């Protein structure tokens, strides 16, 4: 469907969607803890745009949780444009011109670290990115209804337990798969594999967790990681519908797991193990995560929102026992070195 001046632009539709989704997620999570609820923190980006960070710290159920949205725009420098052209040949740009191009980005990002070592950490992120035609000579933005020069969606979700409950992994993956399946039977398996590859701590030779889905550069037309014969969401409408399906699956995929595990008794040793696993989480986010690295390098970025993904407490021991065979810790480790199909 071609955009007309009557159709709201995708940037506005995505903005409305993530605002609603943020409210739904925080309301749902609030039901699990009578004493602690999300605090809102609205902020404005001097360079253009706004955000809303909803957080819990030191809760009984959620040791640290953040559900952020951000809607930002500005001018993209040549180096960033060049990088993006690798996956988006439709970006009409002469690198020799040295020109900046307008961009727009809207996304929701959440990381939930429950206190109980039996309740897993969960992360999800869905985002829309646009590169627009340069402003006309007279100045001013691209007109309403004008299609962007390039646009794509990206995102994913993943589950990071300290202790393995197979039924939880099955529930998380089954719910996520069901959100993907209407858009093509290959979508979940392809994005599940991508997730296993992405959330990998190379220097530890172990996965961050039990995976979920991960994808980027999802737009109309062929995609480098999706075979041409596979069915995929292909128009802006279809892809936005897929994003909403995945976004709406966040709560049902995760909330029942926390509800079930939040009051499981645990020992100091199990808490220690959880904090060591959180150390690994910090290692992944600071050393490998593209979004974090990009954020830390961006002048004027809101560091507090970017690093909200880090756990409240993390622990590093020298040569700590990382899960012997036959222990509960060892059962998890076996799966972090050899991913399994859960759905």
CA atoms within 13 A on the CB side of 209: 31
Of 73, 113, 123, 223, which one is the catalytic site residue?
123
Does 315 interact with its own copies (rule: CB under 8 A)? yes
Whichever of 175 and 305 has its CB closer to its own copies, that residue is: 305
Of the two residues 64 and 118, which places its CB atom closer to its own copies in the complex? 64
Between 183 and 198, CB nearer to its own copies:
198
Closest by Cα among 14, 259, 232, 239 to 112: 259
Q: Is 303 in the site for its own copies (CB under 8 A)?
A: yes
Interface of this chain with its own copies, residues 283 to 302, rule: CB under 8 A: 283, 286-287, 296-297, 301
* 55 binds its own copies per the rule CB under 8 A: yes
What element of type H or E holds 333? Answer: helix 328-337
- Compute the distance between CA of residue 235 and CA of residue 220 in angstroms, rounded to an integer: 5
Angle among Cα 24, 27, 31 to the nearest 5 degrees reads: 140
In terms of phi and psi (left: phi > 0; alpha: psi -120 to 50; beta: otherwise), the region of 153 is beta
Residue from the set 10, 76, 308, 336 that interacts with its own copies by CB under 8 A? 308
Q: Considering only residues 186-225, where is the footprint of its own copies by CB under 8 A?
A: 202-204
DSSP string, 18-55: HHHHHHHHHHHHHTT-SS--PEEEEEE-TTSEEEEEEE
Question: How near is the Cβ of 178 to its own copies at its closest, in Å?
Answer: 32
Closest to 230 (Cα-Cα) out of 186, 193, 181, 194: 186
Position 307 contacts its own copies (CB under 8 A):
yes
Chosen residue from 95, 263, 316, 321 binding its own copies by CB under 8 A = 316
Determine how many CB atoms are found less than 10 A away from the CB of residue 48: 15
Identify which of 143, 122, 135 has the alpha carbon closest to the alpha carbon of residue 65: 122
Q: How far is the CB of 162 from its own copies (least distance, A)?
A: 16
220 or 301, CB closer to its own copies?
301
| One residue of 41, 181, 186, 217 binding its own copies per CB under 8 A | 41
Is 118 an annotated catalytic residue? no
**How far is the C-alpha of 93 from the C-alpha of 82, rounded, in Å?**
8
Residues 6+ apart with CB under 8 A from 326: none
Pattern 256-275, its own copies, x by CB under 8 A: -------------------x
47 part of the interface to its own copies, by CB under 8 A: no
CB nearer to its own copies: give 225 or 271.
271
Note the residues at the interface with its own copies (CB under 8 A).
41, 53, 55, 57, 64, 66, 202-204, 275, 279, 282-283, 286-287, 296-297, 301, 303-304, 307-308, 310-319
Which residue numbers are catalytic? Answer: 123
């Amino acid at each position: 469907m071609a955009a007309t001046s009557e159709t709201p632009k995708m940037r506005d539709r995505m903005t409305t969607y993530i605002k609603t989704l943020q409210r739904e997620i925080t309301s749902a999570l609030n039901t699990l803890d009578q004493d602690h609820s999300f605090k809102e923190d609205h902020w404005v980006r001097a360079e253009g745009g706004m955000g809303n960070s909803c957080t819990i710290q030191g809760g009984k159920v959620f040791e640290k949780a953040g559900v952020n949205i951000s809607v930002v725009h500005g001018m993209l420098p040549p180096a960033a444009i060049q990088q993006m052209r690798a996956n988006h040949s439709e970006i009409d740009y002469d690198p020799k011109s040295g020109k900046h191009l307008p961009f727009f980005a809207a996304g929701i990002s959440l990381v939930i670290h429950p206190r109980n070592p039996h309740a897993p950490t969960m992360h999800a992120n869905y985002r829309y990115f646009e590169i627009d035609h340069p402003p006309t000579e007279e100045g001013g933005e691209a007109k309403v209804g004008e299609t962007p020069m390039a646009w794509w969606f990206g995102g994913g979700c993943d589950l990071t337990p300290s202790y393995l409950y197979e039924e939880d992994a099955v529930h998380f993956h089954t719910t996520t798969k069901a959100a993907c399946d209407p858009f093509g039977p290959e979508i979940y398996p392809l994005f599940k594999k991508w997730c296993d590859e992405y959330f990998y701590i190379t220097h530890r030779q172990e996965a961050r967790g039990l995976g979920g889905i991960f994808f980027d550069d999802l737009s109309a037309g062929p995609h480098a990681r999706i075979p041409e014969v596979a069915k995929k969401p292909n128009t802006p409408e279809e892809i936005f519908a897929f994003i909403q399906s995945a976004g709406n699956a966040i709560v049902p995929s995760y909330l029942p797991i926390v509800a079930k595990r939040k009051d499981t008794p645990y020992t100091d040793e199990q808490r220690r193990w959880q904090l060591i696993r959180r150390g690994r989480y910090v290692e992944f986010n600071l050393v490998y995560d593209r979004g974090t690295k990009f954020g830390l390098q961006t002048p004027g970025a809101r560091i507090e929102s970017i690093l909200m993904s880090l756990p409240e407490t993390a622990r590093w021991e020298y040569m700590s026992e990382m899960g012997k065979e036959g222990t509960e810790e060892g059962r998890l480790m076996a799966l972090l070195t050899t991913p399994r199909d859960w759905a």
